[in-house]
Amino acid sequence: MRGGASPRRTAGGRLSLRVRLRAAGLRSPGSLWSNAVTTNFHVKNMKRLLLLLLPLTAASFSVTSWAAEAWRAPSTQIDSVYSQVESLYLDLHRNPELSYHEEKTAAKIADQLRKLGYDVTTGFGGTGVVGVFKNGSGPVVMLRAELDALPVPEKTGLPYASHVTTHDDRGVEVPVMHACGHDLHMAIGIGTAALLAQNKDRWHGTFIYVGQPAEERIGGAKAMMKEGLFTRFPKPDFVFAVHDSNGLPAGKVGYTPGFSASNADSVNVTIYGVGGHGSAPQETVDPIVIAARTIVSWQTIVSREIDPQDPAVITVGTIHGGTKNNIIPDEVVMGLTVRSYNDEVRKHLLASIERIAVAESAAAGAPKKPLVEHVEGVGAVYNDPPTTTRLADRLKQVMGDSNVVIARPIMASDDFAEYRFAGVPSVMLELGAVNPEKYAEAKKTGEAIPGPHSPYFAPDREPSLKTGIEVEMAAILELMSKH
Ligand code: ZN
Ligand code: ZN
What pLDDT score does 150 carry?
Answer: 96
What pLDDT score does 483 carry?
Answer: 62
Query: Which ligand is in closest contact with the Cα of 459?
Result: 2
| Model confidence at 39: pLDDT above 60 | no
pLDDT band at residue 70 under the 50/70/90 scheme: low
What pLDDT score does 51 carry?
Answer: 41
Region of residue 353 (phi > 0: left; psi between -120 and 50: alpha; otherwise: beta): alpha
Listed by start position, the domains of the chain span 17-67, 75-261+383-480, 263-378
* CA 301 to ligand 2 center in whole angstroms: 29
Angle between helices 287-300 and 343-363 (to 10 degrees): 150
What's this model's pTM, rounded to 2 decimal places? Answer: 0.80
* CA 243 to ligand 2 center in whole angstroms: 7
Q: Which fold has domain 263-378?
A: Alpha-Beta Plaits (3.30.70)
| Model confidence at 16: pLDDT above 80 | no
pLDDT band at residue 387 under the 50/70/90 scheme: very high
pLDDT band at residue 73 under the 50/70/90 scheme: confident
Task: Name residue 241's beta-bridge partners.
Answer: 428
* CA 216 to ligand 2 center in whole angstroms: 7
State the average pLDDT over residues 374-395.
Answer: 96
Instruction: Please list the active-site residues.
Output: 148, 215
* CA 178 to ligand 1 center in whole angstroms: 9
Query: Which ligand is in closest contact with the Cα of 416?
Result: 2
What pLDDT score does 74 carry?
Answer: 78
* CA 188 to ligand 2 center in whole angstroms: 14
What pLDDT score does 72 carry?
Answer: 73
Query: Which ligand is in closest contact with the Cα of 185?
Result: 2
| Model confidence at 206: pLDDT above 60 | yes
pLDDT band at residue 169 under the 50/70/90 scheme: confident
| Model confidence at 316: pLDDT above 70 | yes
Strand extents, DSSP E, 273-395: 276-277, 312-321, 327-328, 331-340, 371-378, 381-383
* CA 237 to ligand 1 center in whole angstroms: 26
**Ion ligand 2 residues within 5 Å by Cβ:** 180
Domains 75-261+383-480 and 263-378 share a fold: no
- CA separation for the pair 392, 399 (Å, rounded): 10
- CA separation for the pair 131, 148 (Å, rounded): 18
* CA 123 to ligand 1 center in whole angstroms: 22
Chain centroid to CA 415: 9
What type of residue is 409? P
Query: Which ligand is in closest contact with the Cα of 216?
Result: 1
Q: Which CATH class is domain 75-261+383-480?
A: alpha beta
